[in-house]
Chains A and B, each alone.
Chain A
Amino acid sequence: MDDLIIAGEKFSSRLIMGTGGAPSLEVLDQALAASGTEMTTVAMRRLDPDARGSVLDLLRRRDIEVLPNTAGCFTAGEAVLTARLAREALGTPWVKLEVIADERTLLPDPIETFDAAERLVADGFVVLPYIGDDPALARRLEQAGCAAVMPLGAPIGSGLGIRNPHNIELIVEAASVPVILDAGIGTASDAALAMELGCDAVLLATAVTRAQRPDLMATAMREAVTAGRLARQAGRIPRRRYAEASSPMTP
């Protein structure tokens, strides 16, 4: 499979993992190893002196790049501060920008997200914004200097797959930066579809961490992303209403 390049950095895996939802660090560790991921996203929270083990140590041991996110932020101001704290704590200017509109849907707030993206780009961040499947917003964020766009397939943790494949295709067609399908993936066929639609990578967490067997699902996702990418590059046959014989009809 060809390399994924984001902001000049090369990745041979096109599966970016999240860390939410894992029942333990041990389960997460096994799942990350099986997924083959080279970049994994983490949240920033108040330090808990009683916490056992650290997700950072785990990522360091596995030599997986850390992508801090701004999960839990509802305003541009909160997201900008969280990104700056992440840069300070983790020494990376990369950020998965996530500004949520409300707790029931966890859908991204486009206005706050755009505002935060402009401020973070101006501050030297490599910004990967999580957005709805909105081609116009994706284009505006690219113009604002974002290093990638991350449209959702369906709401976070819903496992509903890709609800509007047409919009994902429109985003892909217009984008000059990588398109990373983020959120909504339920099973391997969803991840393969994202890649077949032309996405450059897939980001998922819950589909793996809350599967009955996370390590096995991580392997499935790894192979689905590879299969989808290869199918995209191979160029699928056109859909037809009627049969087309693949061998001569006359003896």
Chain B
Amino acid sequence: MIVMINGTAHEVIDGTTVAQAVSTLTAATTGVAVAVNDEVVTRSAWETTALSDSDRVEVLTAVQGG
């Protein structure tokens, strides 16, 4: 299936979790937050939340600005 991770399409196997999607970008687990289809997925649910085809995963962190 295809999921979008920070705007880029990724081919992933069925059952891929939020934690696995995050690990394509970073090994960090603090200072990072995830939304799937505009809903926040809390850190404690990353391992148990499986993605579906066409899901939009956004992985955010704090940067300079504002």
A41 to B40, CA, bound (A): 21
Chain A interface size, as a band, is: 35 or more
Answer whether residue B1 sits at the interface, using C-beta atoms and an 8 A cutoff.
no
| Distance (whole angstroms) from the CB of B42 to the closest CB of chain A | 6
Q: Which of B7, B31, B35, B66 contacts A41 (CB 8 A)?
A: B66
Q: Which residues of chain B come closer than 8 Å to A82, judged between CB atoms?
A: 60
A54 to B31, CA, bound (A): 10
Do B63 and A89 touch across chains, with their CB atoms under 8 A apart? no
Q: Which residues of chain A come closer than 8 Å to B42, judged between CB atoms?
A: 88
Q: Which residues of chain A come closer than 8 Å to B64, judged between CB atoms?
A: 19-22, 25, 28, 42-43, 55
Answer whether residue A243 sits at the interface, using C-beta atoms and an 8 A cutoff.
no
Do A47 and B40 touch across chains, with their CB atoms under 8 A apart? no
Do A44 and B40 touch across chains, with their CB atoms under 8 A apart? no
Answer whether residue B32 sits at the interface, using C-beta atoms and an 8 A cutoff.
yes
Answer whether residue A14 sits at the interface, using C-beta atoms and an 8 A cutoff.
no
Do A42 and B40 touch across chains, with their CB atoms under 8 A apart? no
Q: Which residues of chain B come closer than 8 Å to A81, judged between CB atoms?
A: 35, 38, 40
| Distance (whole angstroms) from the CB of A15 to the closest CB of chain B | 16
| Distance (whole angstroms) from the CB of B62 to the closest CB of chain A | 4
Do B33 and A69 touch across chains, with their CB atoms under 8 A apart? no
| Distance (whole angstroms) from the CB of A124 to the closest CB of chain B | 14
Answer whether residue A236 sits at the interface, using C-beta atoms and an 8 A cutoff.
no
Q: Which of A19, A46, A66 contacts B60 (CB 8 A)?
A: A46
Contact A84/B66 with A46-B7, A89-B60, A89-B61 known, Cβ cut-off 8 Å:
no
Answer whether residue B2 sits at the interface, using C-beta atoms and an 8 A cutoff.
no
Answer whether residue A56 sits at the interface, using C-beta atoms and an 8 A cutoff.
yes
Contact A56/B62 with A84-B40, A88-B42, A89-B33 known, Cβ cut-off 8 Å:
yes
| Distance (whole angstroms) from the CB of A214 to the closest CB of chain B | 13
Q: Which of B32, B38, B65, B66 contacts A47 (CB 8 A)?
A: B32
List the interface of chain B (C-beta within 8 A of A).
Answer: 6-7, 25-26, 31-35, 38, 40, 42-43, 58-66
A-B contact pairs, 25 of them (CB 8 A): A19-B64, A19-B65, A19-B66, A20-B66, A22-B64, A28-B64, A43-B62, A43-B66, A44-B33, A44-B61, A46-B7, A47-B6, A47-B25, A47-B60, A47-B61, A55-B62, A55-B63, A66-B62, A71-B66, A82-B60, A85-B34, A85-B35, A85-B40, A89-B33, A89-B60
List the interface of chain A (C-beta within 8 A of B).
Answer: 18-22, 25, 28, 41-49, 51, 54-56, 66, 68-69, 71-72, 77, 81-82, 84-90, 96, 98, 205
